[in-house]
Amino acid sequence: MKSSNPFALWRWEKMFGEWQMFGEGFLRTIEVAALALILAVVLGVIFGVISTSNNKVMRGIARVYVEFFQNTPLVIQVFFMYNGLAIAGLRLSVFAIGVLGVGIYHGAYVSEVVKTGITSISVGQVEAAKSQGFTYIQYMRYVILPQTIKIILPPLTNQAVNLIKNTSVLAMISGFDLMYMADSWASSSLDYGPSYVFAGLLYFMLCFPLATWARKYEERLKRNDIARVPFDPSEEAVTC
């Protein structure tokens, strides 16, 4: 049993004997990621739409939100929520910090994705909708946003993948997520080899299907677009 090999077989056996620990962490990671993703998409759509509005103040608010959360490290944001807010008297649970911290952080990125999606829809669409008497909310809801979904889905999925991985920031604040459990096991048993490989594999199992799906979807989208491109002189004549 005595061995300095960090990947020795008995270390793996010992670790799988404690699989519940990793199971709990894995579950916690999935829960936090799922709720944070919902929050990120909700915030992203709201701020993405706001940032394309004509109202300067609204656009400013969206800008501040995006720039603040994109340009400060998630680690600091989470550490602040954990210790800073607690000193100020607001004690959020680590679970709540995970959902809020990661959700708000990625909301800023999703907002940029949504904004890009909206601006990629031609202005003519808006004008046409307006001419039919659609209000701002109405044409966003029924005309613009449905069309952006196809465009923003691939980058959105990448955000989801990043979000899942970023929940590992909880390990720092004793969040009992997968990374925390891996750290805990690695350092208490000294079997860091199996511990981190296994945790990595579990993260991979969550992220890989999502990333693959996004890539496939994007490829199909591109193929369809190329298929549609063939030059049609009559169409040209109309647009001119």
Partner 1 sequence: MKKVLSVLLVLGLVFTLAACAPAATTTSDSGADGSLDAVVKAGVLRVGVKEDVPNFGLKNTTTGEIEGFEIDIVKLLAKEILGDENAYELTPVTAKTRGPLLDNGEVDLIIATFTITDERKLTYNFSTPYYEDAVGLLVKKAAGFKGLADMDGKVIGVAQSATSKEAVNKVATEKGITVTFSEYATYPEIKAALDSGRVDAFCVDGSILGGYVDDSTMILPDRFSPQQYGVTSKLDNIALTEAVDGYISGWLADGTIEELITKWGLNY
Residue numbers at the binding site for partner 1 (CB under 8 A): 1-8, 82-84, 86-87, 91, 172-174, 180, 183-184, 186-190, 192-193, 197
User: Which of residues 87 and 137 has its CB atom nearest to partner 1 in the complex?
Assistant: 87
User: Which of residues 24 and 63 has its CB atom nearest to partner 1 in the complex?
Assistant: 24
**How far is Cα of residue 77 from the mean position of the Cα atoms in its chain?**
16
User: Which of residues 47 and 185 has its CB atom nearest to partner 1 in the complex?
Assistant: 185
Q: How far is the CB of 169 from partner 1 (least distance, A)?
A: 12
Three-class SS string for 64-102?
HHHHHHHCCCHHHHHHHHHHHHHHCCCCCCHHHHHHHHH
User: Which of residues 5 and 54 has its CB atom nearest to partner 1 in the complex?
Assistant: 5
User: Which of residues 2 and 228 has its CB atom nearest to partner 1 in the complex?
Assistant: 2
**DSSP letter at 120?**
T
Q: How far is the CB of 20 from partner 1 (least distance, A)?
A: 17
Nearest to 165 by CA among 105, 221, 125: 105
- Distance in angstroms (rounded) separating the CA atoms of residues 98 and 92: 10
| Alpha-carbon dihedral sign for residues 116, 120, 121, 123 | positive
Q: How far is the CB of 6 from partner 1 (least distance, A)?
A: 5
Q: How far is the CB of 91 from partner 1 (least distance, A)?
A: 7
227's tokens: 């298929």
Q: How far is the CB of 237 from partner 1 (least distance, A)?
A: 47
